Amino acid sequence: MPTYKAISPNELLEIKEAYTELFDKVSPKFKGDDEENINEAFELALEAHGEQRRKSGEPYIMHPIEVARICFEEIGLGPTAVIGAILHDVVEDTQISQSDILDKFGPKVSKIVDGLTKIDGLYNNESSPQAANLKKVLSTLVEDVRVILIKLADRLHNMRTIDSMPRHKQIGIAAETSYIYVPLAHRLGLYNIKKEIEDIILKIKEPEDYNYIISKIKETEGDRKNYIQDFFKPLSAKLDKLKEDTNGRYKYMASENGDEALTFDYRILGRTKAVSSIYNKLKTKKVPFEKIYDLFAIRIIADVPIEEEKQICWQIYSIVTDVYKPIPERLKDWITSPKGNGYESLHTTVIGPEGRYVEVQVRTERMDEIAEKGFAAHWKYKGVNTSNNVYDRWLNNIREILDTQHSDAIEFLNDFKTNLFSEEVYVFTPNGDMRVLPKGATALDFAFDIHSDLGYKTTAIKVNNKIVPMGYKLQNGDQLEIITSKNQKPSESWLKMVVTGKARSKIRASMKEDRRAKGILGKEALERKLRNMKVGFDENVDLIVKHFGYQSRPDLYFDISNDDFKMAELKVFTVENQRLVPPAKEPPKGSPAPTDEQTKTSPKSAKTKISTNILVNDEPIDQYKYDFARCCKPVQGDPIFAYLTSENSLKIHRLNCTNAENLLMKYGYRVLKAEWTRLGNSEFIAELMIKGVDSGVGVIQTLTNVISNDLQLNMRSFSIKGKEGYFEGLISVLVKNKDQLKLAMDAIEKLDGIYEISRVEK
């Protein structure tokens, strides 16, 4: 236990202030024992956390208070969740037990706190403690959604204060957060939180790019404001008129209950997109900041009663499109059919002043609250809209996945990711019943979704009356018909044709059964054979298993019945007294191998010896066997981490490698901090993708010239392919560091005919 500095009287004052502020905010919502309970929760947490401090030095208790505030203000949860949030770290980090909480606060709060308490990762054999913990959180989630919302608030506050963590921890936390919490926030419609978290992750992973985008957004703020004003000038008269037209009607309603807010009003927002989404645009579209025109969206929010929502939104749409030409294919009507996470809004893109494309979002205050706060706001309005069961369906899916058998926690995690975070696809049965499956699901998934017995017997599938392969990816609106046969049964290859957890586990179960049945046949065949050889079965079967390198008896039986093991092979044995005697042992295969091994590894280790310019956990990397990951090819200066492979060597990856998040999340314990030192003059291979137009003067020659003569870089390989003047080239060059690489890329980009250059990441 670390020892902490005692809490000073000044700090205690600050703590009490923060708590009182929270209390005052929540108090209008108190019911029953809430007031008593919240005070008691605070006293208990204050006492229990005692002198504990956060990495920042702040008294620990400030964290649960802040998490509770986020739950109330930013997510819109009520007093019970606030109490749960105040207590969320108490059982995990202090002497207080789960039964203490149950005694003091009753089953509801106790359940929430239990869901938020981590499983002790030290004493279980899980391959991934993170995954095991997530599974626990999700099991509680299906009973009480507040658990996951508090968990998100907890994560949000930890991300907001992540600066005080050491950098390698930041990286691990960022990976876990982006793997799980970002998609969860998205799925629960917590748009603001998702946006903020994604921006913090970007700041950790790509600090330079992050700062660049922030400064650019600031720089261009004035222009944007002017543009939005210009955009609205021709609209405002009509919008004001709509406001007046509708006023008369609503005044009548207003006089009925005296609520002025019922008069139709509108707000206009011109909001810039999240830094991270701008970053993605810069990366995928490969255009400079100045050329991103959809940096912001214009939002018109009407405050109207529910019955008028749809009509008013379309009236506003019509006002906007009377003035500006809309792009028809960009019209999205999420008012008539809301998104899977409950999002409602009308989106369109119009050609605004100066010919720029402008996204316009039209919605009501209610829709806006749901769009920003998500789940909790949705619940508040439950009953208002008939399509309110979007979350119910999602929760049902979670229940189903939790009920599915998984071989380990990682498999569970994968299932969870593909099935719950993806968008959905809507298809129909021959009777016109709608089924909802995760996007990417196949025709065979559909069969298993209807019923597993139907899945097992599927021989062909018709989509819109045409036969399709069973692995056909479903499209919205498809109508499916399953053709079955009594004699059909699933095979190994079916596993590749499904994505849903349900279909996969059913296919596996059936194959297991098949294997068992085949095993019986194989065993019988072996018994017959041994009888013929006049030897006993029980005495010899394990000898055969071992001699032919099988893991177990069933494996051998299975191969026999599939004819993958030929009984004739048993003739290597001689027979003595009902016992098989194996042939004399061959000389151990391993003996010449070591020299082989050595010649193989020595050039590698010689190569790694040169570059002593990486520190792993603050020590020189020389003591490890290591190499650079082929997927992302780091060069000196790139943010990196080291990954301990199962062969106990290190692989150095770039932090923004597409594999990184996966590795960091699932095998966080195998990740070591790695940093470049300024020493060392090794060279690194960087792979560049160059796109351009060949003007006919030999672009290859120009490129080669610039790279080897002007830039003085060694080229390792160069391949180019083109069609009708357009070409794509792949060049490997040796560079000393990231700066040199950047200089080279800038120089190449400036050449005539080159319009895009990027580092290859795969």
Q: Which residues bind Mn ion (CB under 5 A)?
A: 89, 154
Q: Which is nearer to Mn ion, 89 or 683 (CB)?
A: 89
Q: Which residue is nearest to Mn ion (CB)?
A: 154
Q: Which is nearer to Mn ion, 185 or 320 (CB)?
A: 185
Q: Which is nearer to Mn ion, 146 or 759 (CB)?
A: 146
From the CB of 376, what's the least distance to Mn ion, in Å?
19
Secondary structure (3-state) at 139: helix
From the CB of 154, what's the least distance to Mn ion, in Å?
4
What is the Cα gyration radius of the chain? 32
From the CB of 117, what's the least distance to Mn ion, in Å?
10
CA-CA distances (angstroms) from residue 592 to 5, 583, 603? 63, 22, 19
Length of the chain equals: 762
Q: Which is nearer to Mn ion, 65 or 370 (CB)?
A: 65
Our answer to whether residue 17 is catalytic in this structure is: no
Any long-range contacts for 194-199 (C-beta under 8 Å, 24+ apart)?
195/274, 195/276, 195/277, 196/156, 196/159, 196/160, 197/155, 197/156, 197/159, 198/274, 198/276, 198/277, 199/274, 199/275, 199/276
The identity of residue 562, as a single letter, is N
CA-CA distances (angstroms) from residue 570 to 577, 581, 620, 654? 16, 11, 55, 52
Q: Which is nearer to Mn ion, 89 or 415 (CB)?
A: 89
From the CB of 669, what's the least distance to Mn ion, in Å?
21
Task: Compute how many other C-beta atoms are within 10 angstroms of the C-beta atom of residue 697.
Answer: 9
Element of type H or E holding 401? helix 390-403
Q: Which is nearer to Mn ion, 64 or 729 (CB)?
A: 64
Beta strands 684-693; 726-735: pairing state: antiparallel
What span, in angstroms and rounded, lies between the C-alpha atoms of 731 and 685? 10
- Candidate list 36, 92, 453, 542, residue with the active-site label: 92
Task: Compute how many other C-beta atoms are within 10 angstroms of the C-beta atom of residue 457.
Answer: 18
Q: Which is nearer to Mn ion, 49 or 504 (CB)?
A: 49
What is the strand order of the sheet 684-693 is part of?
714-723, 726-735, 684-693, 754-759
From the CB of 6, what's the least distance to Mn ion, in Å?
22
The identity of residue 428, as a single letter, is F
From the CB of 171, what's the least distance to Mn ion, in Å?
19
What span, in angstroms and rounded, lies between the C-alpha atoms of 64 and 90? 9
From the CB of 151, what's the least distance to Mn ion, in Å?
9
Q: What are phi and psi of 158, to 5 degrees?
A: -65, -35
Q: Which is nearer to Mn ion, 154 or 415 (CB)?
A: 154
What span, in angstroms and rounded, lies between the C-alpha atoms of 746 and 115? 52
Our answer to whether residue 627 is catalytic in this structure is: no
CA-CA distances (angstroms) from residue 251 to 245, 258, 263, 690? 11, 9, 6, 64
- Candidate list 93, 114, 411, 481, residue with the active-site label: 93
- 473 near 440, Cβ under 8 Å? yes
Q: Which is nearer to Mn ion, 89 or 687 (CB)?
A: 89
Q: Which is nearer to Mn ion, 155 or 506 (CB)?
A: 155
What span, in angstroms and rounded, lies between the C-alpha atoms of 173 and 168? 9
What span, in angstroms and rounded, lies between the C-alpha atoms of 86 and 411? 33
From the CB of 52, what's the least distance to Mn ion, in Å?
11
What span, in angstroms and rounded, lies between the C-alpha atoms of 502 and 496? 14
What span, in angstroms and rounded, lies between the C-alpha atoms of 304 and 243? 10
Element of type H or E holding 158? helix 146-160
- 633 near 686, Cβ under 8 Å? yes
Q: Which residues are catalytic?
A: 92-93
